[in-house]
Chain A
Amino acid sequence: MSSVTPSLDSSGLLSAAEDHFLHGHLLSGWIVDYIDLEESLAVGSIAQEELAHAATLMSVHGLDEVGRDVFVYQRPAQDWRPTRLLAHRLHDWPSTVVRALLLAHAAAVRSERMSASDDPTIRDAGIVLAAEQQLHVMHWERWVQVLGGDARTADELRQRAAVVLPLGGDVFGSASSSSEPTPDRDGHAAWMSRVETVLREVGVPVRSLGDGPSERSPADEQPELLQVLAEIRMLRVEAGFGDGVRGLDR
């Protein structure tokens, strides 16, 4: 299975790692924006796990500790091709919830398919990732139900979802820059089915995710993403691996 499923091939694993890493980074901004203490703990844990899942996927691909560091902090920005869901900062909670729901379900679909791989390393990683992502899925589904089930917040959720969903059509899109990229149509369909079940309940149509996956775009075509990547890289000491973080403007 691993050799023929587009999103589980070499570029697919690293593409998913990019998504997990960026989502963990962007989500962590909410840790200090106290909606309530319990939610801060939840967001902190989920962001932490997104970074760990990114590292796991990079390891499965074969990157060691130094390789993972280079992949995130030293690779040219134009080589990044995350989903457009992560190429924008989302400044409101309903948008953040919708994005997280889409990404958690995508991660669940991907990891469950990994767990059916013939490759034992991919299979073992898939089993653990699938089990851990299930917690994220449950968390974000609950938030969709809370926001969508309350007359005070339901309209805003639907309005925000209408803006966020069109960005997600490339979640299972090819990240390859080759002339014949291979989108993962089966992954997209399985993912669509799951998120539609959740979002339909709160009156959010998912048509804008598309009938099939759209292609991903390089980061240098997405100015806000370049800013986010620059922000991430600013945290590193120029001396290189293992030297901690640069002192921010304090």
Chain B
Amino acid sequence: MLPTTSLANADVRKVARLARLAMSETEIETARSQLSGIFDLIAEMQAVDTVGIVPMSHAQDVSQRLREDTVTETNQRDLFQSIAPQAEAGLYLVPQVIE
């Protein structure tokens, strides 16, 4: 099944929600038209025969290195929290999640 390249506003709204991006109805409409143009560009690759081709995820096809499970980082909580939007008593503050 090939995906459709003509997007509906509902598709764009759903993707915006998945991407955690607030969007107004006007922005949804602009995004729909621009994304459709980009998907037309991308559509060219659907016709290519890739049967039997192994996907290439990494240019050098190297495998991930492993290391000993030992502590390598020192605790720098105060430094890291000094750049947080809101932190208090060593905790990052966010709106209440659990009632």
Q: Do A and B come together as binding partners? A: no
Q: Which residues of A contact B (CB under 8 A)?
A: none
